[in-house]
Every structure is written in C-alpha cells, then in structure tokens.
Chains A and B, each alone.
Chain A
C-alpha cells in the first residue's frame, strides 16, 4: 500500500472514531458558551475525514506516476532496527515503572546500561561506563545543581545527603 493510502485510511478511521465520541458529548451547556463542548471536535473530525477522503481520491484518480511511493517500513530489511526500537520502547516504559520504587540511581543505572547495550552492542565496559557516568552526572546536575527532588530508593537513603 502507498504512503498516502495508509495516511488516508488512518485519518478516516481516527476521524470517524473521534467523531463518534464527540457525538456523545452534550451539544449545549447553560454556561454562556453557546457553542458547547462538541462543535469544535466535530469540525476537527470532519476535517480529518475530508482530508482522508481527498487523499484517497488523489491516490486513485491521480496520474499514475504522480501517486505516492509505496510505504516501506523495513520490518524485514531493517529487522534489527525494529527489534532495537521495540526493546528500547520497552526499556523506557520499564524505567518509568521502576524509577519510584527503586530510586533514581539504581533505575537510571539499569536503564542506561540496557539502552547503551542495545545501541552500542557488545562493548560491555564502555556501556557500563556510559551508564555510570550518566547516572552520577545527572544526579549531580539535577539533584545538587538544580535542586530537583529525585526519587529516593535504597541507594539514596544510604547517602548522607
């Protein structure tokens, strides 16, 4: 499928779904706002659907060579990149989940080591250094320099400051 076709279908599907949700909102409220909370979303949904339909028409009726190129996500060709992206995404989400329970130092060390290992394959010593330097530098800059309160865990509670 071409890039334009995917974009168009996405715009139509999202637009219709958003429109359906907008229609469940009350049309008017008695708050001196005569347009109500749903008119603007309806206009936006309409714009999305209309742009999507127009894009489909351009794609189907336009001159052959003027059509957009085929979408190439490279799921097969660049398999490794997609695996990295998936793992990095998972690492980021896990980082958010462990920051508060484990504290800044442990969570950041773990996350940075994981991210560095994914991006900079094989160089374990280098990656441990990257993780350690980042964690210490970030602690110094954010915790001391900028006085932001960092999530405290086991390591932070052992520190005298």
Chain B
C-alpha cells in the first residue's frame, strides 16, 4: 500500500504542473468533442492530434493522449442521447435507453447520468489500474523472448477471436499487417527486405502514416454519403441534473459494471463496444423490470456508460505495463510514444516512473475536470452536433494529411496515407477487419525479433515455447482463443443456414 502511495506521489508531482493540467483540460475537452461527433472515434481523434504532441516531453504527450481517449468516452454518448446516432461504436448501447429518455423530455437527466456514470466508471477503473499496474509490470520484467513471443501471439489472435467478424478474415488481416511490418531493413541482420528496389521503402512503412490513413481518411470516405442534417430542440433538454431517487436507482448498476468493464478492457481485442453490450445484457438480465429496457430505463444508460469508461482504463494496463496495445486507440498512442523515443513496457515503471505514474495521476485529475466540464457545459457542447458532416469532413481530412506530413516532413508520405485509406475502404467493403491489421503492423517487428531470439536461444528448437511455463500458458490461451472462435464461427454459420 505504501508503495502505491509513494508512486502516486511521484505521479502527482508530474501531473500537477501547470502545463500538464492545461493539457489534461485541452485534451479532455477535445476528446469530449471528438467522441461526441458521429464518425470520429477515440482512435481517429488521437491519430489526427498526433502533430500536437510532437514538441511535448513524453509525459505531457501521454497525458494529453490519454485525456483525449477518456474524454472521448465521456462524449461518445452525447449524440446517442440527443439524435440517436452513436458518436463511436462503444456508444451504440447508449442509444437504446438514452434516446427514449430524451424523447420523453428527460434529455437533461440522460446527459447528467451519462456524465456521472462515466465519472464513476472512470474512477473505479483508475483505482483498479493503480492496484494492478505495478504487479503486472514487475511480473513482465521477468519475461524473456519466448514469453514475449507467446504473449504477442496470444494478443494478436485474441484481437481477431474476441472481436466481431470472421476468424479467417481476421487471420488474413493479421498476415497482411505482419507482411507490411517486414518491409525495410531487417533489424537483426541489416538486410533490406521487400523494398522491391524502392529507396523510400528502405526505412520501412511508417505505421503511424498507415494508421492515420486507415482511421482518419477511411472514416472520411465512409461518411461521404452521410448528408443528413441534424436537428433537435435545445429547450426540451431541461436541467442537466439527476434527482436523488434516480441516482439511487443507478448506483448499484454503475458500481457492479465498472469492474467488469475494466476487465474487458485489459483483454486484448475486447474494447468498449463489447463491454457496453455485455453490461447492458447483464443489467437487463438481472433487472426486476426488464420490459423497461429500451424504453428509457435509466439503469440501461448508466451501466454501459460506467463500464465503457472503466474499460478505457483497463485498456491502458497492457499498453503501459507490457508495451502491447490491445485496441485501436492504444495502438495509436503506442505509435506516437515510440516516435517520441519512449517504449512503454515493464521498464517504463522502473526507468520513467514519472511518466507511468504521471499519466495515471493525471487521469484521476482529468476525470474530475471532465465531470465539471460535462455537467454545466453539456448544453453548449451538444450544440456542436449541429455542425454538418460536410463541413467537418474536409477539416478531418486536412488535419490527417498535415499530421502525416509532420511525421517525417515528407510529401511522399501523403501518397502512402491515401493508398492506405483507399485500401482500408475497400477492405471494409469485403469485410476484412482493420484493427487486427493495424495491431499486427505495429507489433510485427517485435513479434519477429522475439521469435528469432527465442529460436536462437534454443538452437532452433521450437519446443522452447512449450517448455517455458509462462510461454506455455500464453500458447494455451492463444490456442483456446482460436478454438473459441472456431466454435463461435460454426455456431453462427449453423444459425445463418437455418
């Protein structure tokens, strides 16, 4: 316990500087707006804001990106409640009861409870993150190449099996991502691979450029058809506040679903979308009045909102302690940090405790700032939903391209970003999922190096992955994830055939 408090003290020393507090505020507000606007999720938000973190020290950069991330979780449900259009995938569930509430003239209550639930979920998630971070990092410090390879393999496979969609197409996406990661100079032998004579490819494919293309520009392409004007009456929102009986009704759903959301966030590949659907189903299942769900049940909004924010805290556990992102947003954050010369992972806690604990402390502060922003400013903020997509899309596109340019000050990167965007759009049309591809692209080089180092250690004997106990556990988990996906896929097929 003492260790936790002394670590937090180090964290607060970093977080409580004026610069960092200012960036928590800016990042949180921008995140709320980004999360709120349909079509712009946290991953896109962090991706287009990458140029902002360039001049920063790594601690401030991570603090800002984390603020955008959980700010987006606060904002995501605004559009669900007001116009029945989710701001991002994890806010879909908030439409189920949030929109009916606003139809009944209780939009103010819905906005308030979603902010309060986000705050409570975020705080519970933070406490769990604080307790878990150091032990996980300590355990990971003992990981050698075989353990790391097995863990990476499990993470990649988990991304496709736990997320939606076909197992085989997920595997194809991973293979494509790994292929892209091998382009350029091989770090172990300095041999040039897969460049096909191009000198620009020698340095490898800059995954941040690809990510900005896939997340930001592909999103622009996807939303080109959406020209529906948005209309709602601000006067009907009412007071953004919750009465005591309403709060009492939600407190247990918020408290019990936050830990669940956190655990879902820790697992690779399972993001806010799964957490919110799971907790909604759970709350409906144990409710004495399940018939009220979908018609404006306040618990039906509070539970997923709390779990969603707890989930975003959980997603930071593998990123900070293992250096392995489990979601699109954390993948983008990892990419930006590597650009600043910081490699998250177990050593982050020993070598840069100010960064690791600084971001954790900043999130505690950020949650408080966000609830202050989100309650009184809820009505002015939702006005932004009126800005039509046709004006937002060129701005997103401009920011994305400038962001990609600033990465290497190279105009030719804009060719890569546009190719990535078009290919990403076509992949979406044939159902090849993008998140596994992005994760494989980022983790590819690490996976290969750990694979080769392990094989060198064992003189070329692959049994090293099965004799080492920790590696074996991850290999079994990876196998289990595959079997789970196979069973689920065949069940889905049988259902479709019926």
Contact = CB atoms under 8 A, between A and B. Distances in A.
Nearest to B178: A44
Interface in B386-408: 390-391, 393-395, 397-399, 401-402, 405-406
Contact of A40 (B174, B196, B452): B452
B484 interface: no
Contacts of B429: 3, 71-73
B290 interface: no
Nearest to B489: A58
B349 to A, nearest CB: 29
B186 A92 contact: no
Given A48-B179, A66-B493, A71-B430, A37 B189 contact: yes
B189 A29 contact: yes
Nearest to A123: B390
Contacts of A32: 456
Given A35-B455, A84-B224, A96-B415, A4 B402 contact: no
Contacts of A22: 193-194
A67 B16 CA distance: 56
Contact of A33 (B225, B399, B406, B456): B456
Interface stretch (B36-44, B92-100, B270-278, B418-426): B418-426
A45 B413 CA distance: 26
A92 B217 contact: yes
Nearest to B448: A40
B188 interface: yes
For this complex, into which size category does the number of interface residues on chain A fall?
Answer: 35 or more
B413 A142 contact: no
A46 B2 CA distance: 51
Contacts of A93: 414-415, 418
Interface string B189-223: 10101101000000000000000000001001100
B431 interface: yes
B321 to A, nearest CB: 26
Contact of A63 (B220, B412, B493): B493
A31 B194 CA distance: 20
Contact of B412 (A44, A96, A111): A96
Contacts of A40: 182, 448, 451-452
Given A25-B191, A92-B417, A55 B169 contact: yes
Contacts of B399: 138
Interface in B474-496: 493-494, 496
Interface in B440-490: 448, 451-452, 455-456, 459-460
Given A3-B430, A21-B194, A147 B55 contact: yes
B172 interface: yes
Contacts of B188: 31, 33, 37
A147 B418 CA distance: 26
A89 B421 contact: yes
Contact of A6 (B411, B430, B497): B430
Interface in B145-183: 166, 168-169, 171-172, 174-176, 178-179, 182
Interface in B336-355: none
Given A47-B171, A89-B422, A93-B414, A119 B393 contact: yes
B189, B399, B415, B493 pick with most chain A CB within 10 angstroms: B189
A119 B412 contact: no
A44 B175 contact: yes
Contacts of A141: 52
A146 B448 CA distance: 36
A45 B221 CA distance: 30
Contacts of B418: 89, 92-93
Interface of B: 51-52, 54-55, 166, 168-169, 171-172, 174-176, 178-179, 182, 186, 188-189, 191, 193-194, 196, 217, 220-221, 224-225, 390-391, 393-395, 397-399, 401-402, 405-406, 409, 411-415, 417-418, 421-422, 425-426, 429-432, 448, 451-452, 455-456, 459-460, 493-494, 496-497
Given A15-B175, A112-B394, 13 more contacts: A4-B166, A34-B456, A35-B451, A35-B456, A55-B168, A89-B422, A92-B414, A99-B414, A115-B394, A116-B394, A119-B224, A127-B394, A146-B52
Interface of A: 3-4, 6-8, 10-11, 14-15, 18, 21-22, 25-26, 29, 31-37, 39-41, 44-45, 47-48, 51-52, 54-55, 58, 62-66, 68, 71-73, 78, 81, 84-85, 88-89, 92-93, 95-100, 108, 111-112, 115-116, 119-120, 126-127, 130, 134, 138, 141-142, 146-149, 151
Q: Which 10 A-B pairs have the closest CB atoms?
A: A96-B414, A96-B411, A48-B175, A66-B493, A63-B497, A120-B390, A51-B171, A116-B394, A11-B172, A92-B418
